[in-house]
Amino acid sequence: MTRFAAPIAEQIWDMKYRFKDADGTPRDVTVEDTWRRIARDLAQTEKDSAAWEEKFYTALEDFKYLPAGRITAGAGTARRVTLFNCFVMGTVPDSMGGIFDMLKEAALTMQQGGGIGYDFSTIRPKGADVLGVSADASGPLSFMDVWDAMCRTIMSAGSRRGAMMATMRCDHPDVEDFIAAKSDPARLRMFNMSVLITDPFMEAVKADGSWDLTFDGKVYRTVQARDLWDTIMQATYSYAEPGVIFIDRINAANNLSYCETIAATNPCGEQPLPPYGACLLGSINLARLVANPFDDAAKLDEEALQELVATAVRMMDNVVDVSKFPLDAQAAEAQAKRRIGLGVTGLADALLMVGLRYGSDEAAAQTEAWLKAIARASYLASVDLAKEKGAFPLFDAEAYLASGTMQQMDDDVRDAIRTHGIRNALLTSIAPTGTISLYAGNVSSGIEPVFAYAYTRKVLQKDGSRTEEEVVDYAVQMWRELKGDAPLPDYFVNAQTLPPLDHVKMQAAAQKWVDSSISKTINCPEDISFDAFKDVYMEAWDTGCKGCTTYRPNDVTGSVLSVSEDTKADKPVPVQEGGEVVYMSEPLDRPEELEGNTYKVKWPDSEHAIYITVNDIVLNGHRRPFEVFINSKNMEHFAWTVALTRMVSAVFRRGGDVSFVVEELKAVFDPRGGAWMGGKYIPSILAAIGGVIEQHMIATGFIAGEGMGLKTDPQAKVVGLDAPRGKACTSCGQYDLRMVEGCMTCGSCGHSKCG
């Protein structure tokens, strides 16, 4: 019998987390092998490694504790990849040499699979004097463009493309340009962006006071604080960015405020970190810990929760010692403070199982109680580790206990820390958990509400036929198993029907007992008024949240799965139909004969031409690209042409809307310079190859034209409702994209820019 609750869970495991040889041969034959691999690797630092391996395995078993994707995919594989998800990089110097040193560090970090966060407030504003060169500064936005281009060229470890977070203080002279940057649909696509909001700024907003924009002690101009706030709100209302981070609140609450200052976060926002800080994440699956679900006696097993939390803290602490780091400075920072981010997933499902409506006062109170129990168990477990292995090196008892977070902690926990120290400086954080939630059986992700009760996805088989799979929310599936065809109770709500202020209420309830921060997206209806939209952010500020991210579908951002206003939980479960271009459960076998064309590219200053062959497979009477061969007599090109041939062909054989390959290749620039070909400037040989493949796709009818998408765009609809607008997932073709902390994430396959 399989441990997977749904076919999609097994497919996610196979795609994302299963350890395989370079040729695709599985090392992990079953998911039990994956759990064993992780447990053994994280137990290697223990004196009694065999005993702890068994305890770690038990925690992982049946998806009770879910390490972050980097740990699940990388632990025990002997691959040189970091087990930390994300990093905040060093402070960017206000000098040309220093800026490009930081760019190099970013590239090295992303190469090993780490997302990065940066504060660009330290770069002088556009037009400022540059001493010694008789020139004006180009400003931080121009350097962000360089970072964006770098990110496009780096493919992170596995299938994850690097993600980046950019922050800028609300008093920087270029903050208005920063706010407006994403209004250009072609600019800074690799960044999530947030404005660092200070306490004095919010006081000025509420008082309708003036606000100075300054750099290095010089006031560049003065604006009205409320006008600047409205500018941020209008940008977010129109195109979903920037988010806001209440940075003074973060620093005041930080357990380590005595030895660090935070100015940036990881790409999804749940980990505010100092320079070179690392993001180590894991989640307790609350949906697996509810006893007697959907019964009058339903409750969370708090004894099992405490035991599981203690084991998870120990596992995460060991990750600090077994993981590799892209940079020595990152390793030193992690070792000095040993911060971890233990969170939850399946919260909404757990609330449903105990009969509570997500967003109600009762659900908020229960969430606060559960998160407090996790915080207490985490801190006490870390104290026990300190007794055994020592406190983190920068521990200072009185300074630590004086921080904002620790002042609200229970006296018995404070006394234990004062007496014995603590192993980990910070312990709790709530990540988006989109992919690992699918892997765990499609439990609700993080502290988000259930996104959709059920949908169908079409999977293309080797013979070209399609099968349909229903993907059902974990709690809904459990209801069906226990209650049969009984209608869902009225306390079942989802992300589309939930009022925005109910989202804020749940985020604020959880934040009280989370020492880092929370990845949470507040879904807003398209027709929400601008004033009501602003109220969401002000409520987040007033109720103690550390940041706020919203998503309002519109013509710019696109729509996600729609649910009509009169949809009730006791009506038939909405089902999403899949698109015509889909992810293949396994790569197609190669037929003996394929149709194709060969193209010749002569790159200026190159002795030999490059020949590109694109072969197509015919499915249901339509041609689609299946493989690519790139050949040249120039041995300088040999290694990368072979690599490109294999990579692009592998992508093509997996199916879906593969036209993104063209755009990625066309975006590659060669620092040595491009060339003029056919009246156009082509930035690199790779861009020329991308152009050839694009022309082939146009000629065969796969895409509609240059720079355009599929000729026949996959359609998707909710039964009984209008078809949604917006884009299909570039990985699997499904119309199940949802906004998670500024990252469009596919609910069908887990694909996300942020991983």
Confidence label for 720 from pLDDT (cuts 50, 70 and 90)? very low
Structure tokens belonging to residue 433: 């958990």
Interval 645-673 mean pLDDT: 79
Lowest mean pLDDT among 326-340, 601-615, 738-752: 738-752
What predicted TM-score, i.e. pTM, was given to this entire model? 0.78
Q: What angle do CA 490, 495, 497 make, to 5 degrees?
A: 55
Confidence label for 730 from pLDDT (cuts 50, 70 and 90)? low
Q: Is residue 198 predicted with pLDDT exceeding 70? A: yes
**Dist. CA 329–CA 348, nearest whole Å:** 38
**Dist. CA 316–CA 48, nearest whole Å:** 17
Highest mean pLDDT of the ranges 346-360, 587-601, 674-688:
346-360
Displacement of CA 452 from its chain's centroid (Å): 19
**Dist. CA 265–CA 249, nearest whole Å:** 14
- Provide long-range contacts, Cβ within 8 A and 24+ apart, for 215-220: 215/124, 215/125, 215/128, 215/172, 215/173, 216/124, 220/125, 220/173
- On the question of a common fold for 11-82+266-420 and 86-265, the answer reads yes
Structure tokens belonging to residue 274: 């100092």
The confidence score (pLDDT) of residue 184 equals 82
One of 3.40.47.10, 3.40.50.880, 3.30.565.10, 3.20.70.20 is the CATH number of 11-82+266-420, namely 3.20.70.20
Q: Is residue 551 predicted with pLDDT exceeding 70? A: yes
Q: Say which amino acid occupies 695.
A: Q
Beta carbons within 10 angstroms of residue 254's beta carbon: 23
pLDDT (tens digit, 9 = 90+) per residue, 3-18?
998 888 998 899 889 9
Q: Is residue 570 predicted with pLDDT exceeding 70? A: no
DSSP code of residue 90: P
Decide which of 519 and 157 is more confident. 519
Confidence label for 157 from pLDDT (cuts 50, 70 and 90)? very low
**Dist. CA 414–CA 424, nearest whole Å:** 14
On average, the pLDDT of the chain sits at 86
Confidence label for 234 from pLDDT (cuts 50, 70 and 90)? very high
DSSP code of residue 17: I
Among all chains, which residue has been given the structure tokens 């009762």? Answer: 362
Interval 57-82 mean pLDDT: 92
Among all chains, which residue has been given the structure tokens 């040309």? Answer: 96
Q: What is the dihedral of CA 651, 654, 655, 657, to 10 degrees?
A: -40
Give first-to-last CA distance, the chain, whole Å: 30
Decide which of 572 and 490 is more confident. 490
Q: Is residue 715 predicted with pLDDT exceeding 70? A: no
Q: Mapped to the 3 state alphabet, what secondary structure does 159-204 carry? A: CCECCEEEEEECCCCCHHHHHHHHHCCCCCCCEEEEEEECHHHHHH
Lowest mean pLDDT among 121-125, 263-267, 728-732: 728-732
Decide which of 317 and 9 is more confident. 317
Task: Single out the residue of 100, 68, 105 nearest to residue 87, CA to CA.
Answer: 105
Q: Is residue 230 predicted with pLDDT exceeding 50? A: yes
Confidence label for 721 from pLDDT (cuts 50, 70 and 90)? very low
Active site residues: 266, 268, 270
The confidence score (pLDDT) of residue 85 equals 81
Decide which of 661 and 178 is more confident. 178
Q: Is residue 50 predicted with pLDDT exceeding 90? A: yes
Q: Is residue 587 predicted with pLDDT exceeding 80? A: no
For the chain, what are the domain ranges? Answer: 11-82+266-420, 86-265, 595-699
pLDDT (tens digit, 9 = 90+) per residue, 522-544?
999 989 999 999 999 999 999 99
Q: Is residue 716 predicted with pLDDT exceeding 50? A: no
| Surface-to-core class of residue 398, CB atoms within 10 Å of its CB (0-12 exposed, 13-18 middle, 19+ buried) | exposed
Beta carbons within 10 angstroms of residue 563's beta carbon: 17
Lowest mean pLDDT among 276-280, 407-411, 717-721: 717-721
The confidence score (pLDDT) of residue 387 equals 98
User: Coil, helix or strand for 572?
Assistant: coil
Decide which of 621 and 55 is more confident. 55
The confidence score (pLDDT) of residue 362 equals 98
Q: How far is CA 170 from CA 188, 205, 228, 274, in A?
A: 19, 12, 9, 19
The confidence score (pLDDT) of residue 623 equals 81
Structure tokens belonging to residue 726: 């917006």
Decide which of 323 and 671 is more confident. 323
The confidence score (pLDDT) of residue 495 equals 85
Across-strand partners of 252?
Answer: none
Q: Is residue 110 predicted with pLDDT exceeding 90? A: no
Q: How far is CA 44 from CA 37, 159, 198, 311, 422, in A?
A: 11, 27, 44, 15, 22
Structure tokens belonging to residue 450: 């259930």
Q: Is residue 113 predicted with pLDDT exceeding 80? A: no
User: Coil, helix or strand for 346?
Assistant: coil
Task: Single out the residue of 119, 66, 114, 58 nearest to residue 94, CA to CA.
Answer: 119
φ, ψ for residue 452, nearest 5 deg: -150, 140
pLDDT (tens digit, 9 = 90+) per residue, 176-191?
999 999 888 778 888 9
**Dist. CA 430–CA 345, nearest whole Å:** 8
Confidence label for 155 from pLDDT (cuts 50, 70 and 90)? very low
One of 1.10.3720.10, 3.20.70.20, 3.30.450.30, 3.40.630.30 is the CATH number of 86-265, namely 3.20.70.20
**Is the preceding omega at residue 242 within 30 degrees of 0, hence cis?**
yes
Angle of the 31-43 helix axis to the 49-60 helix axis, nearest 10: 140
Decide which of 200 and 133 is more confident. 200
User: How many helices and strands in the chain, by DSSP H and E?
Assistant: 24, 29
Decide which of 413 and 69 is more confident. 413
Beta carbons within 10 angstroms of residue 12's beta carbon: 24
Decide which of 461 and 254 is more confident. 254
The confidence score (pLDDT) of residue 465 equals 65
* % of the chain surpassing 70 pLDDT: 85
Decide which of 703 and 198 is more confident. 198
Q: What angle do CA 466, 496, 117 make, to 5 degrees?
A: 90
The confidence score (pLDDT) of residue 747 equals 63
The confidence score (pLDDT) of residue 277 equals 96
Q: Say which amino acid occupies 307.
A: E
**Dist. CA 331–CA 112, nearest whole Å:** 14
The confidence score (pLDDT) of residue 189 equals 83
Decide which of 574 and 680 is more confident. 680
Instruction: Work out whether strand 115-119 and strand 164-169 pair parallel, antiparallel, or are unpaired.
Output: parallel
Decide which of 647 and 330 is more confident. 330
**Dist. CA 162–CA 150, nearest whole Å:** 10
The confidence score (pLDDT) of residue 576 equals 33
* % of the chain surpassing 90 pLDDT: 58
Decide which of 380 and 184 is more confident. 380
Interval 222-250 mean pLDDT: 96
Q: How far is CA 501 from CA 199, 350, 360, 726, 738, in A?
A: 22, 21, 10, 25, 19
Q: Number of C-alpha atoms within 13 angstroms, CB side, residue 558?
A: 15
